[in-house]
Amino acid sequence: MRKLTPDKLEPGMQLAKPILRGSTVFIGEGSLLSKSVISRLQSMEIDIVYVDGTAEQPIPFDEAMASLNTRFENSGDNEIMAHIKQIVSQHIVDLYE
């Protein structure tokens, strides 16, 4: 899921979360955005729109894993830290899939 400000929306993107007006659904989850819907959204007071897809990662996968190892370099054989590292490592793997 990607989180975008309305000015970054492009036709063909699919909503990952519904757009609400008060408590009623204005555009449902899964809707494809057209040019006209995007301009309506841009004229409404909306800060964030959630669309499908993976956010672009700023660095290559290998570099992300190398940084992770460096960050945990001082943790030695601390079991809790090893556990946290393992969860973060899996999280990074998932981000790049």
Partner 1 sequence: MSEPISTTIMRHKVESINALPTVPSTLKQISSMLENPRLSIDELGRFISNDPALTSKILKMVNSSAYGFPNRISSISHAIMLLGLNVVRGLLLGVSVFELMQKTIAGLWEHSMGCAVVSRLIAQKREIKEPEEVSVCGLLHDIGKVILILQFPQEYEKAQEHAHAEGIPLHEAERIFFEATHADVGSWLARKWRFPINLVEALEYHHRPRLSKQAILETAIVHVSDVLVRARGIGSDRDARVPDVDPDAWNLLQLSDDDVKGILAELEESASSDTEVA
Chain residues binding partner 1 by CB under 8 A are: 1-5, 8, 20, 22-23, 45-48, 55-56, 58-59, 64, 67-68, 70-75, 78, 80-81, 84-85, 87-88, 90-91, 95
Q: Which two tokens stand for residue 21?
A: 């007006």
**Cβ distance 9 to 33 under 8 Å?**
yes
Query: Closest separation between CB of residue 81 and partner 1, Å?
Result: 6
> HSE on the CB side for 97, CA within 13 Å?
7
Measured from the CB atom, is 16 or 31 closer to partner 1? 16
